Structure 1
Amino acid sequence: MSGILTGADAHPADYPTVQAVEFMGRYLSEKTAGRLGIKVFAGGQLGSETDTLEITSFGGIDFNRVNFAPLNSIEPMTLPFSLPFIFDSVAHMRRVVDSEVGDEVLAALDRHGLIGLCIYDSGARNFYNTRRSIYTPADMVGLKLRVPASDLYVAMVNALGANAVPIPFGEVYQSLAQGVIDGAENNWPSFVSARHYEVANYLSVTEHLLTPEALVMSKASWEKLSGDDRELVREAAKQSVPEMRKLWDARVAEAKQTIAQSKVQVNQLDKEPFAALMRPVWDQFITTPEQKSVVERTLAMKEG
């Protein structure tokens, strides 16, 4: 197999995950004297993550960068990494996904026509709202908070005492401005790039989710590659991870700087009381011995 392979990403062209896969394409091109390369269709040009995932599994797209949320609905082994407060820091998350635990979760995608190549960052998510600073779960009671259309997110926000309101990301700014919702949750760069900080002046650093993102390849496309080319693709994916993290960390630092110069009130808090309320949520979604093993080994990699 030779030629230019296709890649899909819902994020815009300048986003770290898009740039990481383009880095991967250059790596492949250099190593094969131009025989292999990747053209990334960014900004959701090929459809939503759910749509492109299905097309990838049938071989219509070669590479796809997807959040773990759509993977949760097809593969239970991806759920542990999506649990609230399972990771206590970015360093902890990276340590786990770089280990044999991460490899095991990626390998579980094989039965869905997908080859899991590597795991990228999606950032630490925090709550922000128009009403007040959140210091304890009691401060969340009564707040209407936007969440993505995910059973896990809904269960998490409701367990914290707030009211989960699933609406599309593109409607959040207007909903905040009009008081349809009181707040939302997301990572630092999204808080800035979607301009939510203009209407939500309270950000509380909960870091409740550090759900990663996956780069997958169509198994149909994978099977057309020679053994040497498969090794090369895996190597290129591995090399793209530090590239993505460098770009991501720079973007987070830039977003934090923007917020520091805005009127947003940022507060730190004790995460333990929030994490303590997550046990029913974990029990609801983690039901198999294999999932429980991933959870236990992930927790064992926390520092201290």
Structure 2
Amino acid sequence: MQKIKLITLLLTMVLVGCNEANKTKTIKIAHGLNIEHSVHKAMVEMGKDLEKRSGGKMKLQIYPSQQLGSERECLELLQIGSLDMTKVSVGVMENFAPKMKVFGVPFLFRDRQHSFDVLDGPVGKEILDDGEQYWLKGLGYYDAGSRSFYTKEKPINTPEDLKGLKVRVMESVTAMDMVKALGGSATPISWGELYTSLQQGVVDGAENNPPSFYLSRHYEVCKYYSLDEHTVLPDVLVIGTETWNKLSAQEKEWLQASVDKSVVYQRTLWAEAEAEALREVEKAGVTIIRPDKTLFQEKVKSIYKGYENDKVINSLINQILESN
């Protein structure tokens, strides 16, 4: 009798082990953009690649359009383990990973390729790792283009045109400092509330990249888009360390490889989306302005000086400016 019980117990343990081994691990990932955005499309491809790469042992479950909250709220969910992954702008991430403040420094990169070289190199990796002390691990950077000003009532041709205007910014100290240096009044408002805030005159304008301007339909309210391209604020894919630490070495390898592949794919989608966005908003009656960027660069020199006493950020600024 005792022998039968022992055999039964061993069989049960084997069956449980098999079930656990065959169990699919689902990674929940949330973001604030709609399903037409390149970020969402890249995540869909990431999910397909992860499922294929892991032989069905891992998959993504995507929650778009702020279903689980704002970018900041998603980061907080990651910290407590209620959500596994998210995509946030580095402008929001800087509140959790101080080194990411460097991306808010205006006119830091010479061009798009320069930004990719930095992000994919050792400096980008150093910045990506900075959030781990706050239970947030960066896995890679998505392209979010360059941010420029769009306004309701008047075009922005020079920094002087920003004087007296309330400009929506993210919850980012560097973004607020930049708008202030250019003469505007920085007003932090969540992305989800911005369309209504523009309509109601809570703010006179905002700043963002072309696809976000287009897909948010902000062009219906703001008819001037000034391509000063003041900052390159990439998006960052983040996983909570609580989730990351529960993954096996093999699972981590699968996930990182799928993230890396999606980064390349998303950047291609982004370039296409950016060109399309500019065409479509112009068709919708938006006046696109290409101002003299040097006028804006002169005005923000104070921001560079402001970081001279911050050894960490100042070092990162110099490394980026001096990189090939």
TM (normalized to structure 2)?
A: 0.85
Partner of 1:251: 273
Give the 3 Å change call, closer, same or farther, for CA 154–7 of structure 1 in structure 2: same
2:135 to 113, 118, 140: 113
Give the 3 Å change call, closer, same or farther, for CA 47–262 of structure 1 in structure 2: closer
Unaligned runs of 5+ in 1: none
Verify the 8 A CA contact 1:9 1:43 in the aligned structure 2.
Answer: yes
Q: Return the letter of the residue paired with 2:164.
A: G
2:218 to 189, 196, 210: 196
Quote the offset at 1:180 in angstroms. 4.5
- What is the root-mean-square deviation in Å for CA atoms of aligned residues? 2.1
1:6 to 28, 33, 38: 28
Partner of 1:288: 310
Q: Return the letter of the residue paired with 1:72.
A: E
Q: Return the letter of the residue paired with 2:163.
A: V
Partner of 1:50: 72
Q: Percent identity?
A: 34
1:63 to 74, 77, 85: 85
Quote the offset at 1:94 in angstroms. 1.6
Alignment partners' CA distance in 2, 1:199 and 1:217 = 35
Give the 3 Å change call, closer, same or farther, for CA 177–117 of structure 1 in structure 2: closer
Verify the 8 A CA contact 1:143 1:183 in the aligned structure 2.
Answer: yes
Partner of 2:263: 241
2:321 to 287, 290, 299: 299
Alignment partners' CA distance in 2, 1:117 and 1:286 = 29
Alignment partners' CA distance in 2, 1:179 and 1:72 = 28
Quote the offset at 1:287 in angstroms. 4.7
Partner of 1:96: 118
3-state SS of 1:200 partner: coil
Quote the offset at 1:188 in angstroms. 0.9
Unaligned runs of 5+ in 2: 1-20
Q: How many residues align?
A: 302
* Matching of residue 129 in structure 1 with residue 151 in structure 2: yes
Quote the offset at 1:161 in angstroms. 1.3
3-state SS of 2:187 partner: strand
Q: Return the letter of the residue paired with 2:35.
A: A
Give the 3 Å change call, closer, same or farther, for CA 291–235 of structure 1 in structure 2: same
Alignment partners' CA distance in 1, 2:210 and 2:255 = 31
3-state SS of 1:79 partner: helix
1:16-46 deviation per Cα after TM superposition (whole angstroms, max 9, x unaligned): 2222222222112112210111111111112
1:195-242 deviation per Cα after TM superposition (whole angstroms, max 9, x unaligned): 222332222111012101111112122222222222222111111101
Quote the offset at 1:283 in angstroms. 4.1
Alignment partners' CA distance in 2, 1:30 and 1:147 = 39
TM (normalized to structure 1)?
A: 0.91
Verify the 8 A CA contact 1:22 1:39 in the aligned structure 2.
Answer: no
* Matching of residue 41 in structure 1 with residue 63 in structure 2: yes
Alignment partners' CA distance in 2, 1:175 and 1:54 = 25
Give the 3 Å change call, closer, same or farther, for CA 221–164 of structure 1 in structure 2: closer
Please, which moves more after superposition, 135-144 or 112-121? Answer: 135-144
3-state SS of 1:146 partner: strand
Please, which moves more after superposition, 141-150 or 244-253? Answer: 141-150
Q: Which has the larger radius of gyration?
A: 2
1:279 to 301, 304, 324: 301
3-state SS of 2:300 partner: helix
